[in-house]
Amino acid sequence: MASLGLDFLSYIASAFLSATFAGIPNGAEWGGFRSILISTDLAWLLSRTKYESKEITWIVWVAIPGTLPPLAWGLIELMVIHTEGSLELHSVGHMNHSAIYLGIILGAALSVALSIRRDVGFIKRLGLIFHPFYFLSASS
């Protein structure tokens, strides 16, 4: 368990050093460090809980469908009402951030699909296979 704490600490330390020597004016680099610090702290706290792997899988699974409404609205804005020139998730913003977020959700959907594919029925298995392909097609 101490090794896991050192892994998280080294990740935070590398982000801190990157922000320290980034050379971006007006301290804008510290916003990125703060984001890494918050997400790493969340991962560290989850690693210290007494949750079983099935419960952690459900936490990840809840985040995946939460991406579908902003993605659907972004596709409507892009392809139907033509108010955006590129696909942007309304909750995320800029197209580069949207692409990064979709890539993260793609990885999460694929990991959930691969980890619980044997424990679910045929209909749920089809849904699990559909999600990664949907996010892959949206992010490309």
Tell me how far apart the terminal alpha carbons of the chain are, to the nearest angstrom: 38
The confidence band for 129, taking pLDDT boundaries of 50, 70 and 90, is: confident
Distance from C-alpha of 73 to C-alpha of 58, rounded to nearest angstrom = 25
- Per-residue pLDDT of 16-63, as tens digits, reads 888 888 777 777 778 778 888 888 888 888 788 888 877 877 777 788
Shared domain check, 119 and 58: yes
| Residues 55 and 45 reside in one and the same domain | no
pLDDT-based confidence at 140, cuts 50/70/90? Answer: low
Structural domain total, the chain: 2
Residues 74, 39 within the same domain? no
- Cα–Cα distances in angstroms (integers) from residue 62 to residues 6, 51, 79, in the given order: 29, 15, 27
Its pTM stands at: 0.60
